[in-house]
Structure 1
Amino acid sequence: MKMYVSMSYGLMALLLVIISLWCTKTMAQAMMHQLEVQQHLKWLKTPTAKSIKSPDGDIIDCVHIYHQPAFNHPLLKNHTIQMRPSLPPSGLYDENEESSSIPQLWHQNGRCPEDTIPIRRTKKEDVLRASSVERYGKKSPGTIPNPTPSQISPQDVEYDFAVVYAPGKYYGAKAIINVWNPMVERPNEFSASQIWVLGGPTAQDTVEAGWHVDRGLYGDNKTRLFTYWTNDGYNSAGCFNLLCPGFIQVNKDIALGAFIHPISSYGGSQYQITLFISKDPKTGNWWLQFGN
């Protein structure tokens, strides 16, 4: 009987040690993750000239144009910003077309001053929703729509696309997109309407822009303006908006990731955005223009 009790105590002690080690490891991992999140937020934080509280709850920081996140990249050190395209994109403007510019909701409470750009402030909760700090603000690899859906097996389907392709060699494209607010039910779902320019030998380079509803990225069901770029098929390079180095913004009135207002309604008023994506013939830089 004593041996049985002693063995039971030994097993209990061993179990407690295992649980203790597991808890310690879990706590250490959680603390490390929190530290990574804080470091990433610190990396995103830049000196602000002014902050504006939007009626929808967003905070828009007016950041000096040379302090935006793009300049955290070592290759952009001492880079001189090209403030406008060398030549206006030929054939994309229609002087008779009514302006389709939609004001963003944060404009109701102020505007950013000259020589600054508006940046939607990233919250801790935004980063915590990502699968990892490294994947925050990034699409999953393989999100380029396949022009031959018959080659995709049902178990591989993760996205539903309605796509119009226009293959060819292009230096610019324009899209006029009606703005809606589709319901997104689950945290990992999103809905978007966008223009998508692909290039490179295997179409791994993309420049994208449009509106989307993305609970995983923003934590809500609002319709927001976005841009995205990648040059490696969404593996490690590129991101949404200004969440990583690479995209340089020059406009002081449009905040990427901000709520688009107003929204179209069924049987009611219709609202749209106009987007231009074009390649500068002199510098080779790609430009995104919002509105007319």
Structure 2
Amino acid sequence: MNSANGAAVVVGVDGSESASRAVRLAAREAARRNRPLRVVHGFIWPLLRVPVTAPDHAPPGAGLRHQAEQVVGDAVATAAAQCPGLRVTGEIIDGEAAAVLLGESPTAALVVLGNRGLGGFAALVVGSVAMQVASYADCPVLVARGTADDAGPVVVGVDGSRRSRAAVEFAAATASSRGARLHALHAYTHPTSAGPGDMQPLVYEEGRLRGEEDEVLVESLAGIEERWPDVAVTREVVHARPVGALTAASRAAQLVVVGRQGRGELSGLLLGSVSQGLLHRADCPVAVVRAPD
């Protein structure tokens, strides 16, 4: 997470109901972190050479630029109403939505966006804007989807990797700021082949395998309770596929957190499988955290 002084929580808006939910979520997150909130709208029309100002004698409020100003103004008002006293600013930036948000990410503490655009096509938006931002942003990305259980834990997916450790630390800090429990979940399947043509072992010791997987979780959480002593931590190791296990956990969670590697390094809990699956299926907001390079 960008810890520079003054780093804002950034939220992308487009006038949709999904974006409004993202604004309310972003406002609460900014207030918890004592950070300003920056509302941005990617204004693509100038790039398409579409006239953005109203023609002469048009009725008040006409014109694409004015509509964009209204979208941002409404979002700023929504955030201010959600968290009175929060420092909120808004800006229209020429460009496509994902590019605009990625451009904001190097100096942001967190980027927040919805999972449905104005057209209501969740798969399209998750496959484009949210997926692009979650895959390439230089800061954590929070996607507003589902319904958060405010009494539930912050759930973090653990696989023993460096990206997993980054996710654990983000989840612990978030749980602390929310006064929530941290639930660390490690899901594993049977041993797999090492490469093409290799066979799975016909016999393996389930008890030994379970012990090894338990150790992965213990090592991934090393030092967390000392750094965040106010956070109650629960651990769970399950023999299941990660997407299914984390999706099930999301039904009673206020947030699910997963990690990713630096740019271009996608493996394990990667955007092509676990993170993508959660962005489509989770029943609560999902945070995707980039591991440091």
Query: Fold match, TM over 0.5?
Result: no
Greater helix percent: which structure? 2
Which structure has the larger Rg over C-alpha atoms? 1
| More contact order relative to length (CA 8 Å, sep ≥ 6) | 1
Q: TM-score, normalization: structure 2? A: 0.23
